[in-house]
Amino acid sequence: MMVLQEIINNYRATGELSHEEIVFLLGLEKPDEVGGLLALANEVREKHLGPDVHLRGIIEFSNHCVRRCVYCGLCYGNRELKRYRMHPHEILDTAAGAVEMGFRTIVLQSGEDFHYTNDMIAYLVAAVKKMGAAVTLSLGDRPQAAYTSWKAAGADRYLLKFETSDTLLYRQLHPESTLARRLKNLTYLRDLGYQLGSGNMVGLPGQTITSLANDILLMKELSLDMAGIGPFLPHPATPLGKARAGTMEMTLKVLAVTRLLLPRTHLPATTALGSVQEDGRRAGLLAGANVLMLNLTPVKYRALYDIYPAKAEATSKPQQLKEEAEKLVDELGRRVSSGYGHAVKIEYQ
């Protein structure tokens, strides 16, 4: 029989956890034991990364998408959604405003929208870099030539979640694609020199604790620079509309165990976590997270980037979001980082 204390002692000595031990930790339910796990993750975060919290500004510049991911409100099949595209000038104005406000990283995210050519994206990347910010792209599966040209244009990071490490579940959720293809793209991005972000969703229909343990081990195997971990939230206009949502508790356990195994990886307290429960992001920051991604999309488009329902930050202006984030960080006795928040291995070189 496994004993919690032994697992923890062993982890403290080796920094390792076996698959079986991860499953055991994710299965904890007693509040004091779960609390102990989250507190340990918080301790590991403090030891390796200190009090710094990195703020990233995300611009969701188009909600058009060619894909039919069955959990996502932006999926091609959702004919009810009004679609928008921001003009490149509008994207750059938004980015310039964010840089002026002090954001050091701009995340450009959209559905898989081929309206923006590779050259247009490269132009946006170069222009934002010139403003003095680091650039993260989150544009899905793209041809390798696109990844190459955006890196050449100066993009620093790419965020491409694998969502689930279960091959069959991946296929069910993404009818036109495979986990193998996603992993190939992740490897390709890493080889091109991007700082690599990926991650999963927690509480997907059909997902087990064993599968979540595999997700965590995959994040380790990929030695991710950033890992986004958020609860699945059913969107009524999708085939999974009536499924059950992932819970905050399980999401926090996954986040915490990930922190134990990836002590220096940037882990955001995700918007989805803040959407499942009001204090979700605070709880995330206390369970191993060290990043907040703030939504800088112009308010008139915000509700249309309808990935899942009741998204947090639906109407607040960037300045207000930043002040709220700073207040939260301050209340926790932490500090907002003034650096770019590059991957730690790179920053410490």
Residue numbers of the site for ligand 5AD (CB under 6 A)?
A: 71-72, 161, 163, 201, 230, 232-233, 235, 272, 307-308
Coil, helix or strand at residue 174: coil
Rounded to a whole number of angstroms, the minimum distance from the CB of residue 77 to ligand 5AD is 13
The span from the CA of 244 to the CA of 233, in Å, is 8
How far apart, in Å, do the first and last CA atoms of the chain sit? 43
Rounded to a whole number of angstroms, the minimum distance from the CB of residue 71 to ligand 5AD is 4
Rounded to a whole number of angstroms, the minimum distance from the CB of residue 349 to ligand 5AD is 29
Rounded to a whole number of angstroms, the minimum distance from the CB of residue 159 to ligand 5AD is 8
Residue 329 buriedness (CB in 10 A; 0-12 / 13-18 / 19+):
buried
Residue 150 or 308 having the CB closest to ligand 5AD: 308
Nearest of 212, 216, 217, 214 to residue 232 by alpha carbon: 212
Residue 173 or 286 having the CB closest to ligand 5AD: 173
The span from the CA of 77 to the CA of 128, in Å, is 33
The span from the CA of 17 to the CA of 23, in Å, is 10
* Contact between residue 325 and residue 43 where contact means Cβ atoms under 8 Å apart: no
Rounded to a whole number of angstroms, the minimum distance from the CB of residue 81 to ligand 5AD is 13
Residue 156 or 163 having the CB closest to ligand 5AD: 163
The single residue listed with the structure tokens 């206009």 is 237
Residue 155 or 159 having the CB closest to ligand 5AD: 159
Coil, helix or strand at residue 163: strand
Rounded to a whole number of angstroms, the minimum distance from the CB of residue 12 to ligand 5AD is 32
| Distances 158 to 109, 140, 150, 192, 196 between C-alpha atoms, Å | 10, 9, 10, 11, 6
Rounded to a whole number of angstroms, the minimum distance from the CB of residue 238 to ligand 5AD is 7
Residue 54 or 161 having the CB closest to ligand 5AD: 161
Residue 21 or 163 having the CB closest to ligand 5AD: 163
Rounded to a whole number of angstroms, the minimum distance from the CB of residue 31 to ligand 5AD is 25
315 CB-side CA count, 13 A: 1
Coil, helix or strand at residue 288: coil
* Contact between residue 291 and residue 266 where contact means Cβ atoms under 8 Å apart: yes
Residue 311 or 334 having the CB closest to ligand 5AD: 311
Nearest of 198, 195, 172 to residue 183 by alpha carbon: 198
Residue 161 or 322 having the CB closest to ligand 5AD: 161
